[in-house]
Structures are given as C-alpha cells and as structure tokens.
C-alpha cells in the first residue's frame, strides 16, 4: 500500500479524524493542543494520527490535502481545516454541530 493509499483509507474509515503533532493527551505543539481541546469539548470520540510517529504521512498529506500545515481535521472524508478554522468553528458552535452530526451518522451506520 502506498502512503497515499494509507491516508485515503484512514480518512475513509474514520468519520472524525485529526492529523496532529502528538496525541490528544500529550499534544506536541500549541496548534495541535488548541485543536484537540476544541474537538474534545464537542464530547464525541475522534480518531487521530500522530504525524511525528509517521514521517511518511507527514510528508505526503500536505500534498494530498492541498493544505500545508498541521493539525488537519477531516470529517466524513472532507478536509475541514487547521487550528484557526477549528477554533473559529468552535467559537460559533458550528464545530460541535458538525462533529455531533458525524458521530451520530457513524453510530447509525454501525448499528445497521
């Protein structure tokens, strides 16, 4: 499997996915920390990939996503954006609406 195939598989199999530096419990940069806090405040589980442990993904994802920085939030296969966008959406309540809808849809799909 190529790195791009791995990225596609991760995005397709996780309705809420954050590519970040570090982990939600131990973020390794301020932007990843703020993005994680905003996501956790939504109260739903989300998947994450620590790009510091996956230099191949760290190198390829910006080209695949056409988005140069990390963190990157993907919801239902679509790139939402990075830290600033995540925090802006959290401030308006838009992030929680999006995350709860994605989690509910994933729960319904899993219940079939």
- Token readout for 32 is 């990843």
Residue 29 assigned to a binding site: yes
pLDDT class of 83 with cuts at 50, 70, 90: very high
Is the Cβ–Cβ distance between 70 and 32 less than 8 Å? yes
Q: Please give the Cα distance from 32 to 82 (Å, whole number).
A: 9
33-61 per-position pLDDT tens digit:
999 999 999 999 999 999 999 999 999 99
Q: What number is the average pLDDT over the span 8-28?
A: 97
Domains, the chain, with CATH or none:
3-101 (3.40.30.10)
Residue 84 assigned to a binding site: yes
| 67 phi, psi to nearest 5 deg | -140, 115
Residue 83 assigned to a binding site: yes
pLDDT at 112 over 90: no
Give Cα 9 distance to the centre of its chain.
Answer: 14
Residue 58 assigned to a binding site: yes
């Amino acid at each position: 499997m190529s790195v791009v195939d791995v990225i596609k598989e991760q995005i397709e199999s996780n309705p809420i996915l954050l590519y970040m530096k570090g982990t939600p419990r131990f973020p390794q940069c301020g932007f990843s920390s703020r993005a994680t806090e905003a996501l956790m405040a939504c109260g739903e589980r989300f998947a994450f990939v620590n790009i510091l442990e996956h230099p191949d993904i760290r190198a390829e994802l910006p080209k695949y996503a056409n988005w140069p920085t990390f963190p990157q939030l993907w919801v239902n296969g679509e790139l939402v954006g990075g830290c600033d966008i995540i925090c802006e959406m959290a401030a308006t309540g838009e992030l929680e609406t999006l995350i709860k809808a994605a989690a509910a849809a994933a729960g319904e799909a899993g219940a079939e």
